[in-house]
Amino acid sequence: MNILVIKSHPNKNSYCHALADEYIRGALKTGNVVNVIELMSLNLEPYLKEDHKNRTTLSSELLSVQELISSANCIVFAYPIWWATPPSLLKVFIEVILASGFAFKYHPPQGIIIKWDKLLKGKSARMIATMDSPPLYYKLFLGNASYKMMKSTLQFCGVKPIRNSYFGSVKMSSENKRKKWLITAYKIGLREGK
């Protein structure tokens, strides 16, 4: 299986990236091909103040990212949950990369019914997300906003199934607990593609 891991934490030394690294280690152990993108290394700034209609052509760097997505069977997003959703860096990435013509394509309008082609069909996704609140609290009382946002976006483009792995509360966890979560991330990587 060809897996693309998108590290979305702005701090390369974060625990979130450590979980992603363990996932990668597990995925490689079972013979998967793994490519990695670190969002902090991409130049997304030129696209921050553009709307969808007046967007400039993507840079060669970002076109290469689209090529990696096209060749992936599974896309893994590793990110922290801040203010109940993924960080702005990941949101900008999604808006720029999952553009019309690449991830989806609208059909000409016919009355009030909107139809589109889902151009990323055949791909699955996984979220590896860290948070400071306990996952059960996040799901029950905060409505699982991150997963809903990512799922609705990716399914719009044809990606499914979409799996989710929450790790939290990181802030309240012990060193021993964090070590166990790293083992869990490794085991998730081992199972990917089987």
Query: What is the structure's pLDDT at 99?
Result: 93
Q: What is the CATH number of domain 2-191?
A: 3.40.50.360
pLDDT band of 13, cuts 50, 70, 90 = very high
Percent of the chain with pLDDT over 90: 88
Distance CA 84, CA 42 (A): 24
- How many residues does this entry show for the chain? 194
Residues 163, 126 contacting (CB under 8 angstroms): yes
106 phi/psi in degrees, rounded to 5: -70, 145
User: What are the angstrom distances between the C-alpha of 136 and each of 71, 126, 151, 167?
Assistant: 35, 19, 18, 11
Per domain, the residue ranges of the chain are 2-191
pLDDT tens digits along 143-176: 999 999 999 999 999 999 999 999 999 999 999 9
